[in-house]
């Protein structure tokens, strides 16, 4: 069947969770379906994606920095759409979408992120539309609101939350099928929309992420993730300010590597003034950093969906220490497959225990890897999406 996928960017290089998920699903379905991929600006297209027809808006998604960024935030105050929807569904994308539909007929429209439902709205009634909801976006903004203390910023977040509640409910009611990444997200979508909902979890490439034969550095921790994503920024700021000092009271030599693209200036400054905090920026391969760490930490307080990063670390046989929210949406039990701690002091205390005696938790790490092998293999997961595409209504 002919499928038009709408997304923000070509899913490459594989340096974000969203790209990794999209890549692994599309590479497994491209030989069975005629897939066209519409995005902002045509990025690097590797040979592994040969067979997919790439369309684009003719320009990149405009960068928003400095005064221009703040002006766009103010301008959004008069829009009924959330800021991210207004930005990603801009006129250039709308025109490119209309052009694609005018040139050929598709059997299905697949939106690879909730904001692009605003683009797909023009096809409602003519095509079945599948929404791949990587998160419950309104839930993320609700969690931002809960954790923000600065009054003016809190009010802006409150407004964005209200807009997303409205937009998300309209979006899920208009589509034929919703793909959720977790049972928790699926429950939300079933409560607010009339469309069918299927859970297609995140996965991991076990041939790529496997136990790494390198010496483990004593008292070492690692966090991996896109550092231009606000939930990751919030979690790492919280870790460096509230948790790491408690760990260092017990283990002064404790150190952490923060691995991921586009770290903000404040994070580099914080690392520069904190011995033992290493911020890498973009790396070609996260596995050496994960492999040499004694503990993988996921101190997230904000977010939705489920974390690919946890699956990758578990597949490499690592002990994972996370918040409950960090492990949300994954079939992983505290004390069986990983460790969950929400209170900063308990998180720090558990980190100390692991760093002082990580070998004692070898069975925990092995159980975590076995769980990913059983439930989170991409080949199995892609077959679920194939079923949705073939039976969207």
CA distance 168 to 138: 7
125-170 confidence digits (pLDDT tens) = 899 999 999 999 999 999 889 888 889 999 999 999 999 999 999 9
Q: How far apart, in whole angstroms, are the C-alpha atoms of residue 320 and residue 372? A: 13
CA distances from 115 to 120, 168, 169, 177 (A): 10, 9, 12, 16
Find out whether 371 and 320 touch, Cβ atoms under 8 Å: no
Which residues are within 8 A (CB) of 83 and not within 5 positions of it... i.e. 6 or more apart? 72, 73, 76, 160
Instruction: Give me the pLDDT at residue 304, please.
Output: 66
What angle separates helix 183-192 from helix 151-174, to the nearest 10 degrees?
70
pLDDT score for 195:
86
Mean confidence (pLDDT) of the chain: 93
In the beta sheet, which residues pair with residue 221?
A: 256, 295
User: What are the residues whose beta carbons fall under 8 Å from the beta carbon of 155, sequence distance 6 or more?
Assistant: none
Torsion on CA atoms 171, 173, 176, 178, rounded to nearest 10: 60
Confidence at residue 125, expressed as pLDDT on a 0 to 100 scale: 84
Sign of the dihedral defined by the CA atoms of residues 74, 80, 81, 82, in that order:
positive
Nearest to 224, CA basis, from 311, 147, 160: 311
List, as one string, the DSSP characters of 306-336.
--HHHHHHHHTT--EEE-TTTTTTS---BTT
CA distance 299 to 33: 39
Is residue 7 classed as helix, strand or coil in its secondary structure? coil
* Predicted local confidence at residue 68, as pLDDT: 87
Three-state DSSP state, 137: helix
Domains of the chain (ranges; CATH) run 2-203+377-390 (3.40.50.2000), 220-375 (3.40.50.2000)
For residues 126 and 121, give the distance between their C-alpha atoms in angstroms, rounded to a whole number: 10
What is the Cα–Cα distance from 351 to 46, expressed in whole angstroms?
39
Rounded CA-CA distance 327/305 in Å is 9
Q: What is the DSSP letter of 61?
A: P
**Cβ–Cβ under 8 Å, residues 287 and 209:** yes
Which residue reads 């995005």 in tokens? 39
The whole-number pLDDT of residue 75 equals 93
Neighbours of 241 (CB within 10 A): 12
The pLDDT tens digits of the residues spanning 49-101 come to 999 999 999 888 988 888 888 899 999 999 999 999 999 999 999 999 999 99
pTM for the model: 0.85
CA distance linking residue 38 with residue 104, whole number of Å: 13
Position 96 scores a pLDDT of 96
Dmax (CA) of the chain: 65
Q: What is the DSSP string of 179-245?
A: EESSHHHHHHHHHH-SSEEEE----B-TTTS----SPPPTTEEEEES-TTSHHHHHHHHHIIIIIHH
Residues of the chain with pLDDT under 50: none
List 281's β-bridge partners, or say none. 259
User: Would you call 91 helix, strand, or coil by DSSP?
Assistant: helix
């Amino acid at each position: 069947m002919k499928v038009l996928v709408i997304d923000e960017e070509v899913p490459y290089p594989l340096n974000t969770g969203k790209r990794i998920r999209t890549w692994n699903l599309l590479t497994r379905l491209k030989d069975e379906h005629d897939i066209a991929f519409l995005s902002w600006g045509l990025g690097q297209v590797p040979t592994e994606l040969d067979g997919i027809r790439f369309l684009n808006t003719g320009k990149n998604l405009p960068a928003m920095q400095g005064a221009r960024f703040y002006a766009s935030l103010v301008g959004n105050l008069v829009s009924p759409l959330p800021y991210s929807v207004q930005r990603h569904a801009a006129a250039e994308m709308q025109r490119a979408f209309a052009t694609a539909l005018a040139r050929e007929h598709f059997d299905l429209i697949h939106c690879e992120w909730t904001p692009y439902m605003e683009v797909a709205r023009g096809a409602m009634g003519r095509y079945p539309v599948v929404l791949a909801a990587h998160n419950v976006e309104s839930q993320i903004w609700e969690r931002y609101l809960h954790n923000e203390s600065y009054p003016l910023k809190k009010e802006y977040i409150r407004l964005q939350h209200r807009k997303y509640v409205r937009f998300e409910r309209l979006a899920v009611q208009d589509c034929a099928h919703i793909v959720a990444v977790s049972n928790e997200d699926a429950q939300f979508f079933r409560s607010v929309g009339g469309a069918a909902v299927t859970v297609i979890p995140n996965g991991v490439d076990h041939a790529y992420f496997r136990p790494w034969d390198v010496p483990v550095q004593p008292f070492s921790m690692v966090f991996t993730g896109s550092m231009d994503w606000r939930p990751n920024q919030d979690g790492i700021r919280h870790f460096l300010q509230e948790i790491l000092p408690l760990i260092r009271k017990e283990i002064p030599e404790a150190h952490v590597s923060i691995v991921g693209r586009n770290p903000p200036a404040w994070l580099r400054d914080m690392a520069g003034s904190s011995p033992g905090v290493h911020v890498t920026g973009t790396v070609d391969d996260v596995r050496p950093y994960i492999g040499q760490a004694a503990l993988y930490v996921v101190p997230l307080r904000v977010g939705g969906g489920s974390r690919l990063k946890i699956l990758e670390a578990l597949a490499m046989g690592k002990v994972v220490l996370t918040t409950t929210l960090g492990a949300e949406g994954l079939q992983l039990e505290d004390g069986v497959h990983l460790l969950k701690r929400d209170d900063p002091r308990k998180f720090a205390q558990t980190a100390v225990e692991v760093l002082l005696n990580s070998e004692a938790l070898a069975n925990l790490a092995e159980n975590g890897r076995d769980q990913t092998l059983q439930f989170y293999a991409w080949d199995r997961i892609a077959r679920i999406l194939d079923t949705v595409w073939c039976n969207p209504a």
